[in-house]
Chain A
Amino acid sequence: MIGIVEIQQFVAGRWGAGSGEPFERRDPTRPDVVLSRGRESAVVDAEAAVRSARSAQPSWAAWTPHARAEILRTAAAIVSARAEEWGEELAREEGKTRPEGVGEVRRAAQILEYAAGEPDRAAGEVYHSPRAGERILVSRRPLGVVAVIAPFNFPIAIPAWKIAPALVHGNAVVFKASGAVPVLAMRLVEALVEAGVPAGVLHLLHGDGAAAVRPWSRSRTSTVSASPVPPRWAGRSRRPGRAAESPSRPRWAGRTPRSSSTMPTSISR
């Protein structure tokens, strides 16, 4: 990695600086080396992201699932092509070994590819009815706007396995990256934007401040997919004051099953 990465948020189709506090991230191996810097997203940024996502989501949901999947497939190719470069960034930013970093970026590409296969899977189920002349169909609809909160320990794979299924099923996503690993979050969003995700459908916020809780405290966000790491585990948190909270619960929400980014609808008859 050459030079310091300027961190930008991505809101309503535009890259730019957040409205919050300035921050910088250092190499955990060599704390004198600054890797990235930027501004945290503030509440106004989160509000703008959710508003934009709300307005973009219905037309995104109206795309065919296969057209949405095509974007994920393109993004997978982009991520895969840059695995060496981004894997090195990941290793520096997060502290993993280089092969682990490259491997994780490749895994993110596989996850995007896997989600792109979803439109060819079953779209619903049909049941017999005990009453003559009736049949019962169960189909699925997107939730709307999904807030994604990701931890620092897998900076690109975990965001990918939350965002990709949410997008392919027609949800808009507001992604709040971990404050510890903003570079790889930017890389994933860059790949998806380059692949053609329309403006308003995907947003990236940074920081562990007020904006972090904003999207999922808003009633207009339909669901939250979160794998937060407890603060004590987040050894490089910039906010040591939070480390005393719930230290005894190292629980980790894990993988989002594909059905959790949709809601079933039952149409009787």
Chain B
Amino acid sequence: MGGDAVRERARILRRAADLIDERIDDIARLLTLEQGKPLADSRKEIAFAAVVLRYYAEEGTRVGGTLRPTQRADVRSIVTWAPIGVVGAIVPWNYPVDLYAWKIGPALAAGNAVIVKPPLEAPLAIAEVVRCVHDAGLPAGVLADLPGALEAGSALSTHPGIGMITATASTRTGQAIMRSAADTMKRVSLELGGQCPFVVLSDADIPAAAAAAARRSFSNAGQICIAVNRILVDASVADAFVEAVAAEARAIRLGHGLDAAVTGGPTTTAAVIEVAEQHVADAVSRGARVITGGERLRGADFDRGTFYAPTVLDEVPVGSAAMSEETFGPVVAVHRFASGSSLDDVAALANGTDAGLAAYVYGDDLDRAWALAERIEAGGIGVNINDVTELHAPFGGWKMSGFGRELGPEGLHGFLQQRHIRLLRKAVTA
């Protein structure tokens, strides 16, 4: 890989990031219109996409290699990185612009060509980002945008000319991609569904934990792979905690995302509400109590849209759908564990699903919170913080939440393959 090419790619990515910043108002408006989230959240998402492109512009210039020790004095062992070739990327509708940038930023910086299938539900904001990258001077053919549905995605995962598929999707879709990618031995990187526990220990800062849990449960209408799906709370603090989360939920003002006073939008699709309703009904049938929400919003402003009230369920038993399946909607299930439970017991509760994307632990005794974090089976664990997304650190799943990592240096190396050159030197007489 020539140094000039690396620098030129970095220049294009930086320029694309600048153009995204310049055009953020227009892109954010489109994102809110098609996806539903409040305008402020759209702006935040798009601004982070630009940050990610800049980060990978720099990271791409740092792809080096290593000279390894050898077992013979006359042998040189040189390990370098090469691009995969053509990468197919499948982007979901919940954070289309961010997740688009997480994929094309490192894939392009690594020297690949990329064909992206944006989500059918939200292709427009991405199209504007494509325009930014194009206007930044990316050569024709290096980045393709293929708005489509199942047929387009399937064509990518089976095409022999594509060397790798990276996808953020449901676990079921990820399994289908992995199966079809096997025929052509594609590399796969899959960020799939989560079912993220939020553990509140007895010494947690209750107001802070409640605000953090509510934000991660109801932001983007709960349509986040790292959304809090279930809260595991020490029974001794549960009453105060549940009341505080419910108060946060009730304070969310739902409406059209373009309205500046709105703090929560509709669900992006009607199907999200169907799952939310199933999970609520299932929990209630098993003895759970609806503390707030639990129904669609009615009235002139809401009837035409897909609005579901932010919902807090209390005393939800283990085994309920809301405790084991990904809801991907504005519903959070609270389960009280006996005060004085051992960390191992709490960890077993937290680990009791097939998912392993993210988890959260709140507690003021940092040693205890940390010890619990180290028992949790997940790719990312937030300790006294409700987001595991970090520009510099790997993001991705354990267990059925997939494999492969995005962000950080790992996010770049996933789009590269290693080449080892082993070279024998002949003796040279001086």
Check B383 against A267 for contact (C-beta < 8 Å).
yes
Selected contact of A265 from candidates B378, B384, B385, B392, CB within 8 Å: B378
Rounded to whole angstroms, the CA-CA distance of A138 and B392 in the bound complex is 10
Q: State the CA gap A42–B385 with chains docked (Å).
A: 49
Q: Which residues of B contact A267 (CB under 8 A)?
A: 370, 373, 380-383
Nearest A residue to B418 via CB reads A257
**Quick one: closest B residue to A110, CB to CB?**
B71
Nearest residue in A to B388 (C-beta to C-beta)? A268
A67 at the interface (CB under 8 A from B): no
Chain B residue numbers with a CB within 8 Å of A251 are: 185
Q: Is B218 an interface residue (CB 8 A)?
A: no
Query: By the criterion CB–CB under 8 Å, are A127 and B392 in contact?
Result: yes
Q: Is A269 an interface residue (CB 8 A)?
A: yes
Alpha-carbon distance A35/B418, docked complex (angstroms): 39
Q: Chain A residues with Cβ under 8 A from B418's Cβ?
A: 257
Residues of A contacting B387 with CB < 8 Å?
A: 268
**B379 contacts A136, CB within 8 Å?**
no
Q: Is B394 within 8 A of A138, CB to CB?
A: yes
Answer yes or no: A4 CB below 8 A from chain B CBs. Answer: no
Give B contacts to A, CB under 8 Å. Answer: 71, 185, 370, 373, 378-385, 387-388, 390-395, 398, 403, 405, 408, 410, 418
Chain B nearest CB, measured from A125 CB (Å): 9
State how many angstroms separate the Cβ of B185 from the closest Cβ of chain A: 7
Q: B408: which A residues are within 8 A, CB to CB?
A: 138
Q: Which residue of A lies closest to B392 (CB)?
A: A127
25 pairs from A and B in contact (CB 8 Å cutoff): A110-B71, A129-B392, A130-B391, A136-B393, A249-B185, A263-B398, A263-B403, A264-B394, A264-B410, A265-B378, A266-B379, A266-B380, A266-B381, A266-B388, A266-B393, A266-B395, A267-B370, A267-B373, A267-B380, A267-B381, A268-B382, A268-B385, A268-B387, A268-B390, A269-B382
User: Which residue of A110, A264, A266 is within 8 Å of B390 (Cβ)?
Assistant: A266
- Please pick, from B370, B383, B405, B410, the residue contacting A268 in the complex, using a CB distance under 8 A: B383
Cross-chain contact B405 with A265 (CB below 8 angstroms):
no
Given contacts A129-B390, A136-B393, A267-B383, 5 further A-B contacts (CB under 8 A): A127-B390, A129-B392, A249-B185, A268-B385, A268-B388
Contact with B along A99-129 (1 / 0, CB 8 A): 0000000000010000000000000000111
- From residue 131 to 146 of chain A, which have CB atoms closer than 8 A to chain B? 136, 138
Contact code string A235-266 (vs B, CB < 8 Å = 1, else 0): 00000000000000101000001000001111
Assess whether A269 is in contact with B385, with CB atoms less than 8 Å apart: yes
Residue of B nearest to A130 (CB): B391
Closest A residue by C-beta to B376: A265
B11, chain A: closest CB distance, angstroms: 24
CB distance from B302 to the nearest CB of A (A): 36
Q: Which residue of A lies closest to B397 (CB)?
A: A263
Q: Could you tell me the distance between the alpha carbons of A246 and B185 in the complex, rounded to whole angstroms? A: 12
Q: For residue B370, which residues in chain A have a CB less than 8 angstroms away from its CB? A: 267
Chain A residue numbers with a CB within 8 Å of B385 are 268-269
For the complex, give the distance between the alpha carbons of A266 and B387 in Å: 11
The answer to whether B381 and A265 touch across the interface, beta carbons within 8 angstroms, is yes
Interface size class of A (residues with CB under 8 A): 10 to 19
Cross-chain contact B378 with A136 (CB below 8 angstroms) = no
Q: A257 vs B66: C-alpha distance in the bound complex, in angstroms? A: 14
- Minimum Cβ distance to chain B for residue A139 (Å): 8
A46 to B410, CA, bound (A): 34
Task: Select the residue from B385, B393, B405, B410 with max chain A CB neighbours within 10 A.
Answer: B393
Interface centre among A130, A138, A251, A267 (most CB of B within 10 A): A267
Collect the chain B residues with CB atoms within 8 Å of residue A128's CB.
392
CB distance from A28 to the nearest CB of B (A): 29
For A107, the closest partner residue in chain B by CB is: B71
A110 to B408, CA, bound (A): 33
Q: How far is the CB of B154 from chain A (nearest CB, A)?
A: 22
A136 touches B382 (CB 8 A): no
Complex CA–CA separation, A15 to B185 (angstroms): 36
Minimum CB–CB distance from A212 to chain B (whole Å) comes to 17
Nearest 6 pairs of A and B residues by beta carbon? A266-B393, A127-B392, A266-B380, A269-B385, A264-B394, A268-B382
In contact, A136 and B388 (Cβ under 8 angstroms)? no
Q: Which residues of A contact B403 (CB under 8 A)?
A: 263
Write out the residue numbers on chain B whose beta carbons fall within 8 Å of the beta carbon of A268. 380-383, 385, 387-388, 390, 393
Chain B residues whose C-beta falls within 8 Å of the C-beta of A127 in the assembled complex: 390, 392-393
Expressed in whole angstroms, the Cα–Cα distance for A127 and B394 within the complex equals 12
**Interfacial chain B residues near A129, Cβ < 8 Å:** 390, 392
What residues of chain A lie closer than 8 Å to B392, measured between beta carbons? 127-129, 136
Asked if residues A269 and B405 are in contact (CB atoms below 8 Å), the reply is: no
CA distance A249 to B379 in the complex (A): 34
Q: Contacts A264-B405, A268-B388 given: A138-B393 contact, CB under 8 Å?
A: yes
C-alpha gap A267/B385 in the complex (Å): 10
Q: How far is the CB of A127 from chain B (nearest CB, A)?
A: 4
Report the separation of the CA atoms of residues A110 and B373 in the bound assembly, to the nearest whole angstrom: 36
Q: Taking the nearest CB of chain B, how far is it from the CB of A186, in angstroms?
A: 27
Q: How far is the CA of A267 from the CA of B384 in the complex (A)?
A: 11
CB distance from A184 to the nearest CB of B (A): 21
Q: Are B390 and A136 in contact (CB under 8 A)?
A: yes
B394 with A266: CB separation less than 8 A: yes
- Which residues on the A side are within 8 Å of B378 (C-beta)? 265
With both beta carbons as reference points, the residue of chain A lying nearest to B393 in the complex is identified as A266
Contacts of B394 in A (CB 8 A): 138, 264, 266
In the complex formed, the residue of A with least CB distance to B183 is A246
A61-75 residues with Cβ-Cβ distance < 8 A to B are: none
Q: How far is the CB of A194 from chain B (nearest CB, A)?
A: 26
> Whole-angstrom distance between the alpha carbons of A111 and B398 in the complex?
28
In the complex, residue of chain B having the shortest beta-carbon distance to the beta carbon of A137: B393
B157 to chain A minimum Cβ distance, whole angstroms, is: 18
Expressed in whole angstroms, the Cα–Cα distance for A147 and B359 within the complex equals 27
Distance in angstroms from B106 CB to nearest chain A CB is 16
User: Distance (Å) between the CB of A72 and the closest chain B CB?
Assistant: 18
B residues near A257, Cβ cutoff 8 Å:
418
Q: How far is the CA of A129 from the CA of B381 in the complex (A)?
A: 16
* Residues 35 to 63 of chain A near chain B (Cβ within 8 Å): none
Q: Which residue of A lies closest to B395 (CB)?
A: A266
Q: CB-CB < 8 A to A266: which residues of B?
A: 379-381, 388, 390, 393-395
Q: When chains A and B are docked, how far (Å) is the Cα of A263 from the Cα of B384?
A: 23
